[in-house]
Every structure is written in C-alpha cells, then in structure tokens.
Structure 1
Amino acid sequence: MTDQAMTVTHTANVVEDLAAVRQRTLALVSHLATEDLERQIAPIMSPLVWDLGHIAAYEDLWLAHRHAGMELLRPDLAALYDAFETPRAVRGDLEILGYDDAVAYLDEVRARTLAALEITGPDPVLHEMVLQHELQHTETMRQAMAIAGLLAPGEPTLPPLTTPEGWLHVAAGTHALGASDAVFSYDNERPRHAVDVDAFAIALRPVTNATWLHFVEGGGYVRREWWSSEGWAWKEEYDITHHASVAAGDPDAPACHTSYFEAEALARWCGARLPTEAEWEKASARLDGVGHVWEWTASTFGGYPGFEAFPYREYSEVFFGDRYHVLRGGSWATHPRVATATFRNWDLPERRQIFAGVRLARDLGEPT
C-alpha cells in the first residue's frame, strides 16, 4: 500500500469517527424541547445549547484555524464560547446562539473541517483531541439533563452489580503510572513514570446504594467523627444528606452522585479509606464494576514529574493544586474512547452533579 493510500484510509476513518460522534451528540438532545435546550438548568451547568456552540467553536479553533491555518469562521463568538472567558454561572445571561443557529454553526464548522482534511490530512493528536472533547461534553450535558430530569428514557443505566462483596489484595511493588507514548493521552497522563506502591487491599466492586443507605441509617450525616473539617462545614452549611438517586436506585447498583466529602466520610464509617490513584490504576485491570460510576481517589490533581502542558495549559495545568481531587474509571455516560485506565478526571470535593461513586481501599494488615 502506498503512503498516499494509507493517508486516505486514515482520513476516511477520521471522517467516519467525526460523523459518528456528531450523530451521537445530536441524538442525545433530540427528544428535548427547544425551551429546555436553551435555558440554564443550574448555575453550575451550562445551557445545553452553549455546549453545542462551544463544541463547534473548539473544533473550528483547533482543526480549521490552528491546524489548517484558516481564519476563524466566527471570530465574534470566540470569547462567548471560551470556557475561561465565560464561566458557567453567567452563560445563561449571555446572548448565545439558539438551538437552530447552534446546529447551523456545527454544520458550517464541520464543512470546513472536512475541507481542511482533504488538504492537510489528519493530525494524530489534534483530531483525536477534538473527537474526545465532544464526547466529554456529551457527558457534561447528561449531567445537566439529570439535574433537570431530562435524561432520555432508560437513562441512567446503572444495573445491579453481580460481583459479591470482597477485597482484592495487591502486593507491594513498582507500578508504571500514566500513559505510554504509543497511545493518545492527555498531558496530565504523561510522562509515564515508576512509583512504589505499598501492599493494599481494594474492594472488588464500588459501594452500592444499599451500603450507602446503611451509612445513612447509622447516622452518616449526623455523626461528626467520620467527616473532615471542610466536609462537615460544607454539609452543615448546605444541609446535605444523601442524594435522592441513592434511595431511588436499585439497592445493588453502584451509588452515584456522591461528593468527595461524602465518599471520604463513608470510607471512614467502613473503617477504610479511598485509594490513591496509583493504587487504583495498578489494580484497575483486575477490578469489577469499573465504568458504572467515576470513582473518587484520595489524590489531589497535579502534574506528574516532568509534566509539560500540551497543546494548551488550560486543559489541565490551571487546575493543578489541592482544590481538586482525581476520579478514575469513567461512568455509564463516559464513552469508552475517553475512559481509558490512565484517564484522569478531576473535580471539586463538594460536587455531586458528576456521575461519581466510590470504591474502598485499606492498608494490608487491617481487617477485611
């Protein structure tokens, strides 16, 4: 096969993937009324049409403008659909595109992307980044839809777990943490590096709704000793109790919509703790129930030794520090293309809109 034929085949694959992801995005909201698409559901979430406009602007910026050298299609919209220029809390007050105009913008940008592909061919990093960016936003859109009760019939898909309760014992040893150079990964997953991990035990499955309700019945939200100072202050200020989905869901399904503060308190109630992300990644290939809910780890979000921001520091570097905690594994709403074993999600410890649960860990030597 000639190099030209190989390039054409690769380009054809990218075109097919772009089309499939876009079809998935539009199908996600096809059952919604325009009014629901255009309103802001909650201050911490964007109007759904903002996400559509942002997806278009991001694709135009990276695939038409920066990769192919074209002028931006709508420079007047650049700041409006920049996530840092327009925080979520104000997006509902802005003059954003309505649904029909947002879809038209998506279509116009896609035509430019395809035209550029014919000339430049695909970039293995930028085109994959744009595909995964859209897939990540469809999960964020589902979060907003869940808050408003707008998920499509049959969602969320959190079936009962079939794995019995138990613990996996993992021997001490060195683990290569992070993504290899042979696969697409984000800057915060690199460079891959060796870490020493002490022996530990990790639960075979995530915590279920039934276990969470036992925590509630045992005084989980009224007994101070299981909570961190910051978590207790948050719980008291906002009068927090368990999320409604815990009581409404199947008892044997993974508990969802749990904050880091709650996950940490429940772990203490169990006489356990949250795993570090190195422990989670080391054990991930042997765990059951991965991919139902994001799983909180004890690790805060920071760069690995030798970290270099690429292709832009706003993807992850600006979030580094002690405020954000890392989640691993993916949820029912995460596309498998995104939910790799090394992918690092992160959020603030009080956030509950994400599809997050918890998997427990213990030091070996403690009773299991």
Structure 2
Amino acid sequence: MQQVPGTDRAETERLRERIATVLERARRRTVGLTECLDEAELVAQHSRIMSPLVWDLAHIGNQEELWLVRDVGGREAVRSDIDELYDAFKHARVDRPALPLLDPAQARVYVGTVREKVWDVLERTPLRGEGLLRDGFAFGMIAQHEQQHDETMLATHQLRTGDAVLAAPATPVVRTPVGGEVVIPAGEFTMGTDTDPWALDNERPAHPVHVPGFAIDAAPVTNEQFLAFLTDGGYDRPELWSESGWAHRQEAGLVAPQFWEQDGGGRWWRRVFGVMQPLRPQQPVVHVCWFEAEAYANWSGKRLPTEAEWEKAARHDPVSGRTRRFPWGDADPSELTANLGQRHLEPADAGAYPAGASPAGVHQLIGDVWEWTASGFDPYPGFHAFPYREYSEVFYGGDYRVLRGGSFGADEVACRGTFRNWDHPIRRQIFAGFRLARDLRSDEH
C-alpha cells in the first residue's frame, strides 16, 4: 500500500474504509435478492423486459472484474471468456435466457472470486491519482452499478409470481399527512455538480440555470389522488392523453397502475412482492408510466415539473442562496430523512419524513418513488463522457424521460440531489411515481 504522510494518509484510509463499506453493503443486498430463490427461479425470465436474475448476478461480477480487477488493479482476467455474455449492449434482455449463461452456483463462485481479488486491489490502490483513481471513483462507480442492478433485481421480484420471499419492516406511521403546494421563487441556482467525487458523468458539470417562479406539490401524488383520476374516467378520456400516450394506453390496455386489482366489491388492492394489500390512500402512487403521469397532470390542470425545477426544489436553499447535496442539507441520508436502500418494501405515506424536507417545505424528494419529470434526457452544457460513452452519451435524445429522487429500492450511494435516472415513457416496472407543478399566476410572482 502506498504510504501518504499525515492528514492525507488518514483521509485515504477513511476513504478506503468507506469504499469497503459500500461494496459490502451492495453485496449483502445482492446475496439477499438471490439466495431467497431456488435455481429454477433464478434462471427463469419473469418478464420479457427483464433479465433472468442469474444474468444480473454474473453481470455484476463481470463489471467489477473489468473495471477493478483488470483496469485499476492490472491483474489477469478471471473469466475473459464470458465478457460478451454479460455485455449489456451485446444482447437484448429478451434474448438473454437463451445464452450459455453461468448457472447460479457458477455465478456465485465467480462473483466471490472477483470480490476477493478486489479486496486486494483496494488494499494496494493509492486512491490519490487522477481519472478512475481520483477519490476512489472506480470503486464508487462499481458500488453504484451493483446497487442499480439490485434495484433492477428488486423490480424483477415484484414482477415474479408465486409466494412472497422478501420481508421488511413496515414504513413509519404518519400522524400529519402532507399536502398542498410550495411556491419556489424565480431565480438562478447551480444545477449539477463538480464537487461530488462519485457523481457520474451525466450529473456534470455544475452550471447556473435561471428558473422562472413555479409552484410544486409538497408531496408526491398519492394513491387516493390517483384513484380520483381513475374513477373520473381518466383512462377512458383521450383528451387527457397525448397522441402517443393514448396509442400506448390502448395498445397496452392500461386501466390502472400496474399491480392494482379491484375486487368484486369495488375495493382496490395492490400486489406488493407477492402479497395483496388494501390500497393505502396516502401512499405515493407507484408503478405508473410517464404517459399516465402526463394524463393525470392534464386532468388536474397542472403539469409535470421540469428537471431543473425538480432539482431547484430539492437542492436550492432560498435563505442562504447555496445549493445543497440533499433537500435537508449536506449530511448523508438516514432513516429519519429518506426511505432508501430497501429498508422497507414500499413507499412511505406522504409526510413520513419531515426531517428530510427541503428548506421551502417540499417533502420526500429523495427516496420512496422515482419521480417522472417533463424533461428528456440530454447532456448538460460542457458534458464530457467518463469513463465510457455507454453509461450516458448513447442514451441522450430519443424518447427517454428523466426521473429524479430515487425510490425505496435505491441505495444512498446511487441516489443524491444531482442523480439522473432515465427510461422510456412506457415503462411501469420501475418504482416510479410523480409530483406536479404549475406556472405561477401574476398575483403570485
């Protein structure tokens, strides 16, 4: 291990400990999401839009090997013969079950062998260089990658049929539900980041953005609110939908959020990882696509916030004028500020995390549900792809819509005030909901 004198050495060791912590946390989650199922369930494709869980497992190990063992560590390959099998750009998800994949036992041995080599690489890496080595970026990138696939695997668990295999404590009890909206005055704020060492390329660079004044909902749209749209015929009124949205609603047969079911008595239920639960009125609606969110916004007379509006509401402190890491400040998330990390298996009711509210009084911007925005996925001014084009650049443009804020299934290492997620507007398997915004009236400026 390279020796660094004084304070620099102590800081390097603290960084090394943090890296070990986030890598271990991600791996515990990966193990928990795969050890609970038998081999047949791991190799099955539970949805055509998702990979078999065993593919995700070995892909996690392969990316860790490519970047940390071979690139950062300069070590010999563990399994170079499987690189193409686990290249996400070589094979569509629907085709992956037919590939000669590692079986569950082989995949576990493989990811375990890779991780043992990574511990040795971490011990010997100075973490003080540039590029991939700067502030341990490569290790942070891989921890984020594993957690992102863990959230994808969690979504696959929600799509599978059969008995429940996952469990978690109930979400906090809400004594004072949150509603209404908050006015965010016009002005400039700093969007994106140059200072977060593990921020990914699409979050960079920091740049000033002037945002006109707007109002934004204090909480995400709830099941109760969305049910009102549904019962008012929202799914049967083409005037509420865009042309492409209405075409998709008809083709896909959308009649309610995914996993909602109505019994013979007219009562609505929601399937949550194999368990049928009565619809919770104050819980943020989840598993809705962008087109459904857009139609609801039209029905309500509002709109989806832009990405810049969302980030300003989440990060800008109107009193000090500074831009924070999170709505509540610069401290890492905790169980008091946000519903993250699969601590619970569903969103918490509106108002469950008052300590996580922004200075302006906007709640649950981090965690619970990814929030659809009105914005397409495009680069920031001055964008530079790093460390490879396929993370962000190849996805810019097209029909992608940006989601912000993370979900109950996102880990804090892969969720921050600047973090950008994106998906096609038809996607519902992700843990996505939304909140609304509107332009200010003349008397509100």
Does the alignment pair 1:140 with 2:215? no
Q: Who is 1:256 aligned against?
A: 286
Q: Is the 8 A contact 1:293 1:330 kept in 2?
A: yes
SS at match of 1:221: helix
TM-aligned CA deviation for residue 159 of structure 1: 7.2
> Structure 2 vs 1, CA of residues 168 and 84 (structure 1 numbering), >3 Å: closer, same or farther?
same
Bigger drift between 134-143 and 86-95 goes to 86-95
Task: Tell me, yes or no, if structure 1 residue 33 matches structure 2 residue 109.
Answer: no
Cα distance change on mapping 1:232 and 1:151 into 2, 3 Å: farther
Question: Residue 230 of structure 1: SS of its match in structure 2?
Answer: helix
Q: CA deviation at 1:73?
A: 1.2
Give the aligned residue type for 1:266: Y
Q: Are the aligned partners of 2:143 and 2:413 in contact in 1 as well (CA < 8 Å)? A: no
The answer to whether 1:314 aligns with 2:314 is: no
- Structure 2 gaps, min length 5: 128-132, 261-267, 270-278, 315-326, 328-357
CA distance in 1, matches of 2:432, 2:313: 19
Q: Secondary structure of 1:73's match?
A: coil
Could you tell me how far apart the structure 2 residues matched to 1:95 and 1:30 are? 21
| Matching residue within 357, 363, 366 for 1:288 | 363
Give the direction of change, closer, same or farther, for the CA distance of 1:121–1:156 in structure 2 (3 Å limit): farther
Q: CA deviation at 1:7?
A: 3.7
Shift of 1:325: 0.3
User: Are residues 1:196 and 2:272 paired?
Assistant: no
Distance 2:43 2:175 in 1: 37
Alignment of 1:162-201 (within 5 A): 162-201=176-215
Counterpart residue number, 1:344: 420
**Which residue pairs with 1:129 in the alignment?**
141
Give me the whole-angstrom Cα distance separating, in 2, the residues matched to 1:350 and 1:367.
37
**Corresponding position of 1:55:** 60
Distance 2:172 2:194 in 1: 31
In the other structure, the counterpart of 1:266 is: 296
Deviates more, 1:144-153 or 1:31-40: 144-153
- The aligned counterpart of 1:74 is 79
Could you give the per-residue CA deviations for residues 112-147 of structure 1, whole angstroms, max 9, x where no partner exists?
A: 112222332443210100011101110000111101
Judged with a 3 Å threshold, the aligned counterparts in structure 2 of structure 1 residues 312 and 348 are, in CA distance, closer, same or farther, namely same
TM-score (norm 2): 0.79
How far does residue 158 in structure 1 lie from its aligned partner after superposition?
9.2
Q: Paired residues, what number?
A: 368
More moved, 48-57 vs 112-121: 112-121
For 1:199 and 1:35, how far apart are their aligned partners in 2?
54
In the TM superposition, 1:326-337 aligns within 5 A as 326-337=402-413
Cα distance in 2, alignment partners of residues 270 and 156 from structure 1: 31
What pairs with 1:18-29 in structure 2 (closer than 5 Å)? Answer: 18-29=23-34
Shift of 1:99: 1.1
What does residue 239 of structure 1 align with? 253
Tell me the alpha carbon deviations over residues 40-88 of structure 1, each in whole angstroms, 9 at most, x when there is no partner. Answer: 1111001111111000000000001111222321111101001001221
In 1, Cα distance between the equivalents of 2:54 and 2:172? 27
- Provide the residue aligned with 2:113 in structure 1: 108
| Cα separation, 2, equivalents of 1:339 and 1:10 | 19
Answer whether contact 2:65 2:114 (CA < 8 A) is retained. yes
Offset at 1:13? 3.5
1:356 maps to 432
Distance 2:422 2:437 in 1: 19
The answer to whether the 8 A contact 1:47-1:92 is kept is yes
Work out whether residues 188 and 344 of structure 1, in 8 Å CA contact, stay in contact via their aligned partners in 2: yes
Residues 304-351 of structure 1 deviation map (CA, whole Å, 9 limit, x = unaligned)? 011110000100111100310000001110112211011000000000
Amino acid at match of 2:200: Y
For residues 193-232 of structure 1, the aligned pairs below 5 Å read 193-232=207-246
Shift of 1:153: 2.7
| Shift in CA distance, 4/244, structure 1 to aligned 2, threshold 3 Å | closer
Determine the C-alpha separation between the residues in 2 that align with 1:366 and 1:333: 40
**1:92 match: secondary structure:** helix
Within 2, Cα distance between the matches of 1:241 and 1:160?
Answer: 29
Deviations 1:15-55 (A, max 9, x none): 33322321221022332222111111111001111111000
Amino acid at match of 1:304: Y
CA distance in 1, matches of 2:415, 2:238: 35
- SS for the counterpart of 1:125 is helix
- The one-letter code sitting in structure 1 at the alignment partner of 2:377 is F
| Superposition map of 1:298-309 within 5 A | 298-309=374-385
1:133 maps to amino acid: H
Deviation at 1:237, TM superposition (A): 1.2
CA distance in 1, matches of 2:290, 2:103: 35
Amino acid in the other structure paired with 1:219: G
Alpha-carbon RMSD: 2.1
Post-superposition offset of 1:196: 1.0
**CA deviation after TM superposition for structure 1 residue 8, in Å:** 4.2
Residue pair 1:263, 1:358 contacting (<8 A) in 2 also: yes
* Structure 1 unaligned spans of 5+: none
Q: CA deviation at 1:239?
A: 1.2
Residue identity matched to 1:173: G
